[in-house]
């Protein structure tokens, strides 16, 4: 059967369609190749400028609608690079996926991905790497993310932050106070800082503090945007102030690193410090020894503790004891007892036949019961400083009672007697609080500001400038610097003719 005209026509149409499809496919392929040529990419690896044993990878790429600039470190061990590589890989994939979905709306190179890394070296084999990602589809749609990796190149593994911090409820409270103090003192962050957000973050049971890393002489907390403030934030706290929230292993490690560093600086000053022990020379030498030999490793947390802001306002009337013509002064110590520093304070007081008053935190009493009993046995006065240094003006009746009664019970169990005085944290009190507490409320007349200066010389200067007959001096037995400066304070006051008595001997209660 011969093909008809209809058959020829159908074949021609099919042929034309096939040719059209082939041509279209070719043009699509060409367009794709042309588009590919519009993407420019580069990658290089070079030694880290500060740590040449580590390589830094720098990647750049851009096309018509986006740009990427990325840098991240690479260690010799592939195992140590896994977390950082995974972070970078996921960031790039998510970014390019978002670009692809929104490319019709994007203007020229409007979408941007920037990844940068900051590295700190804690020891010869421990590094902290903070990786920051900023991903923007356009100016008003940006995302900030970060990750922190602590690397142990010697043991070829990662160090978790929970291995560094001793995670207890009390330590979380201490950490909250340290961070709160740092935020409030920061010109950069104080205005928009939220204490409530910080508290929620610190006490979140799922918080493993993965935003923390080690620097040369401090611990750094890095907060993403809107975590506790409406911007990214970075808070640095010296090792000396973090001692009590660290595990024993890391206390020892930090002490070792600090001692090694001190061996390389001003050895002659250290020698002088060990040989001189008298008067103002002693005070200065103690400070230098503190700096060089890291004696503040045992220092109790200094920030529960932006202690006592209202420094010259005693809440009870003071008078000289009527039976004495000698000048009198009451030494008071807050925030203890401390397992190492408080016994040293007691030793010095005994040496000078001096009596003092200790305002103690209930949550530290039981663990240091023998120290508390020694205070009582040696004739010192015991005071209540609440359970864990809360601002009582912000608590209800039940909360105030709990803070006071738990502390009274702890002191009674340790010493065999109740405290006789009360000092409100931060000096914050009112009539209702004092009715609930049921003890004389004692502030101070001379704030040595030892919590602020951590400097024996500065402490002595405050004492010299402000002490008069009947003064109540505020100090903190949790600070090594206070212990180191106490001898000079005692020497000065003895030289000025003062007798050391308890607060109850200074005032009429």
330 and 446, same domain (yes or no): yes
Is residue 285, in this structure, part of any structural domain at all?
no
CB burial class (10 A; 0-12, 13-18, 19+) of residue 49?
exposed
Q: In sequence order, which ranges of 264-368 are alpha helices (DSSP H)?
A: 267-275, 279-293, 341-351, 362-365
Which uninterrupted H or E stretch holds 82? helix 78-102
pLDDT category of residue 103 using cuts at 50, 70 and 90: confident
- Dig out the tokens for 87 from the structure: 């972070």
Cβ contact 338:300 at 8 Å: yes
Domain count, the chain: 3
- Separation between Cα atoms, residue 161 and residue 220, nearest integer Å: 11
Which of 234, 249, 264 is at the close of a domain?
A: 249
**Annotated active-site residue in 297, 334, 388, 455:** 334
Which has more confidence, 190 or 389?
Answer: 389
- Separation between Cα atoms, residue 111 and residue 67, nearest integer Å: 6
Q: Is the pLDDT of residue 124 over 50?
A: yes
pLDDT given for residue 7 in this prediction: 65
417 and 314, same domain (yes or no): yes
The reply to whether 334 belongs to the active site is yes
pLDDT category of residue 16 using cuts at 50, 70 and 90: low
Is residue 276, in this structure, part of any structural domain at all?
no
Is residue 461, in this structure, part of any structural domain at all?
yes
Which of 123, 141, 159 is at the close of a domain?
A: 159
Q: What is the CATH number of the domain that holds 72?
A: 3.30.565.40
338 and 196, same domain (yes or no): no
Domain that holds residue 101: 40-159
Q: Is the pLDDT of residue 331 over 80?
A: yes
- Separation between Cα atoms, residue 60 and residue 62, nearest integer Å: 7
198 and 83, same domain (yes or no): no
**pLDDT mean over 140-165:** 90
pLDDT category of residue 18 using cuts at 50, 70 and 90: low
- Which residue from 77, 253, 88 is spatially nearest to 157, judged by alpha carbons? 77
pLDDT category of residue 128 using cuts at 50, 70 and 90: very high
46 and 109, same domain (yes or no): yes
333 and 403, same domain (yes or no): yes
**pLDDT mean over 152-170:** 91
Reduced to 3 states, what is the DSSP secondary structure of residue 33?
helix
Is residue 489, in this structure, part of any structural domain at all?
yes
Q: What is the CATH number of the domain that holds 453?
A: 3.20.20.370
- Separation between Cα atoms, residue 333 and residue 169, nearest integer Å: 24
Task: Give the DSSP letter of residue 213.
Answer: E
In tens, the pLDDT along 375-400 reads 999 999 999 999 999 989 888 899 99
* β-bridge mates for residue 295, sequence order: none
86 and 147, same domain (yes or no): yes
Cβ contact 156:85 at 8 Å: no
- Whose tokens are 């058959």? That residue is 7
- Separation between Cα atoms, residue 141 and residue 13, nearest integer Å: 51
pTM: predicted TM-score of the whole model, two decimal places? 0.48
User: How does the average pLDDT of the chain come out, rounded?
Assistant: 81
**pLDDT mean over 103-111:** 77
371 and 241, same domain (yes or no): no
pLDDT given for residue 325 in this prediction: 67
176 and 150, same domain (yes or no): no
pLDDT category of residue 271 using cuts at 50, 70 and 90: very low
143 and 170, same domain (yes or no): no
Is residue 186, in this structure, part of any structural domain at all?
yes
Max intra-chain CA distance, the chain: 143
233 and 354, same domain (yes or no): no
Q: Is the pLDDT of residue 509 over 60?
A: no
**pLDDT mean over 441-455:** 90
Is residue 286, in this structure, part of any structural domain at all?
no
- Separation between Cα atoms, residue 380 and residue 149, nearest integer Å: 49
236 and 365, same domain (yes or no): no
pLDDT category of residue 140 using cuts at 50, 70 and 90: confident
Which of 249, 281, 313 is at the close of a domain?
A: 249
Q: Is the pLDDT of residue 153 over 50?
A: yes
In tens, the pLDDT along 43-96 reads 999 999 889 999 999 999 988 888 999 999 999 999 999 999 999 999 999 999
pLDDT given for residue 27 in this prediction: 46
- Separation between Cα atoms, residue 298 and residue 477, nearest integer Å: 12
**Region label for 8, one of left (φ > 0), alpha (ψ between -120 and 50) or beta (otherwise):** alpha
**Annotated active-site residue in 455, 476, 477, 479:** 476
CA 4, distance to chain mean position in Å, is 92
- Separation between Cα atoms, residue 263 and residue 293, nearest integer Å: 8
- Separation between Cα atoms, residue 90 and residue 68, nearest integer Å: 14
Is residue 269, in this structure, part of any structural domain at all?
no
Is residue 275, in this structure, part of any structural domain at all?
no
pLDDT category of residue 1 using cuts at 50, 70 and 90: low
Cβ contact 147:89 at 8 Å: no
């Amino acid at each position: 059967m011969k093909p008809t005209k209809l058959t020829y026509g159908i074949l021609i149409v099919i042929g034309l369609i096939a040719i059209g499809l082939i041509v279209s496919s070719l043009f699509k392929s060409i367009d794709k190749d042309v588009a590919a040529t519009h993407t420019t990419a580069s990658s290089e690896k070079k030694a880290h400028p500060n740590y040449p044993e580590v390589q830094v990878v720098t990647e750049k790429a851009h096309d018509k609608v986006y740009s990427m600039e990325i840098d991240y470190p690479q260690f010799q061990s592939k195992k140590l690079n896994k977390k950082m590589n995974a972070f970078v890989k996921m960031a790039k994939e998510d970014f390019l996926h978002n670009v692809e979905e929104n490319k019709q709306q994007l203007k020229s190179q409007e979408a941007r991905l920037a990844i940068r890394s900051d590295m700190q070296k804690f020891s010869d084999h421990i590094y902290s790497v903070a990786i920051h990602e900023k991903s923007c589809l356009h100016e008003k749609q940006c995302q900030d993310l970060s990750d922190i990796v602590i690397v142990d190149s010697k043991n070829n593994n990662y160090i978790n932050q929970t291995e560094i911090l001793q995670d207890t409820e009390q330590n979380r409270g201490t950490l909250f106070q340290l961070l709160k103090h740092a935020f409030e003192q920061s010109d950069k962050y104080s205005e928009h800082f939220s204490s409530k957000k910080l508290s929620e973050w610190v006490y979140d049971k799922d918080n493993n503090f993965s935003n923390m890393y080690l620097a040369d002489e401090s611990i750094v907390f890095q907060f993403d945007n809107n975590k506790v403030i409406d911007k990214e934030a970075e808070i640095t706290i010296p090792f000396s102030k973090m001692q009590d929230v660290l595990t024993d292993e890391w206390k020892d490690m930090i002490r070792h690193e600090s001692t090694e560093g001190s061996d390389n600086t001003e050895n002659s000053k250290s020698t002088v410090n060990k040989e001189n022990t008298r008067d103002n020379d002693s005070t200065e030498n103690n400070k230098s020894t503190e700096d060089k030999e890291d004696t503040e490793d045992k220092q109790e947390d200094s920030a529960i503790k932006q202690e006592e802001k209202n420094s010259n306002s005693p809440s009870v009337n003071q008078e000289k004891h009527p039976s004495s013509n000698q000048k009198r002064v009451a030494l008071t110590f807050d925030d203890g007892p401390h397992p190492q520093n408080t016994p040293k304070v007691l030793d010095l007081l005994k040496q000078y036949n001096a009596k003092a008053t200790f305002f103690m935190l209930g949550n530290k009493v039981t663990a240091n019961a023998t120290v508390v009993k020694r205070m009582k046995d040696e004739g010192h006065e015991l005071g209540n400083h609440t359970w864990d240094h809360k601002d009582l003006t912000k608590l209800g009746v039940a909360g105030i009672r709990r803070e006071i009664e738990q502390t009274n019970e702890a002191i009674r169990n340790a010493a065999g007697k109740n405290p006789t005085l009360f000092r409100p944290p931060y000096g914050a009190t009112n009539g209702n609080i004092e009715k609930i507490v049921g003890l004389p409320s004692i502030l101070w007349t001379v704030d040595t500001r030892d919590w602020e200066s951590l400097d024996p010389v500065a402490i002595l200067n405050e004492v010299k400038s402000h002490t008069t007959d009947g003064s109540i001096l505020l100090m903190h037995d949790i600070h090594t610097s206070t212990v180191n400066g106490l001898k000079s304070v005692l020497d000065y006051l003895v030289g000025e003719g003062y007798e050391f008595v308890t607060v109850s001997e200074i005032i009429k209660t």
